[in-house]
A and B are shown apart, each in its own frame.
Chain A
Amino acid sequence: MLHAKVIDIKKQKIDLEKANEFISSSKFGASIVFTGTVRELNENKKVTGITYDSHDTMVIKSFEEIYNELDQKLKIKDKTVFIEHVKGYVELGEISIIIAVATPHRAEAYIISRYVIEEIKKRSPIWKKEHYKNEDSKWLKGNPIQTN
Chain B
Amino acid sequence: MKVKLELFGANRDLSDKDFIEFNLESKSSLKNLKKEILSYVDQNFKGNENFKKIIETSAFCSEDNNIIYDNYKITRDQKIGIIPPIGGG
Report A's interface with B, CB cutoff 8 A: 36, 52-55, 57-59, 61, 85, 96-97, 117, 120-129, 139-145, 147
Contact = CB atoms under 8 A, between A and B. Distances in A.
Contacts of B33: none
B59 A126 contact: no
B67 A124 contact: no
29 contacts: A53-B8, A53-B9, A54-B8, A55-B81, A55-B83, A58-B83, A85-B89, A97-B88, A97-B89, A117-B89, A121-B86, A121-B89, A122-B86, A124-B86, A127-B10, A127-B84, A127-B88, A128-B88, A139-B10, A139-B13, A141-B85, A142-B84, A143-B87, A144-B58, A144-B59, A144-B85, A145-B59, A145-B67, A147-B67
Given A128-B87, A142-B10, A144-B57, 15 more contacts: A53-B12, A55-B8, A55-B81, A58-B65, A61-B65, A85-B89, A97-B88, A121-B86, A121-B87, A126-B86, A126-B88, A127-B87, A128-B88, A142-B87, A145-B86
A143 B86 contact: yes
> Which bracket fits the contact residues of B?
20 to 34
B9 A139 contact: yes
Given A53-B9, A57-B65, A127-B8, A140 B59 contact: no
Nearest to A118: B89
Interface in B35-89: 57-59, 61, 65, 67, 81, 83-89
Given A139-B13, A145-B59, A125 B89 contact: no
A53 B12 CA distance: 10
Contacts of B65: 57-58, 61
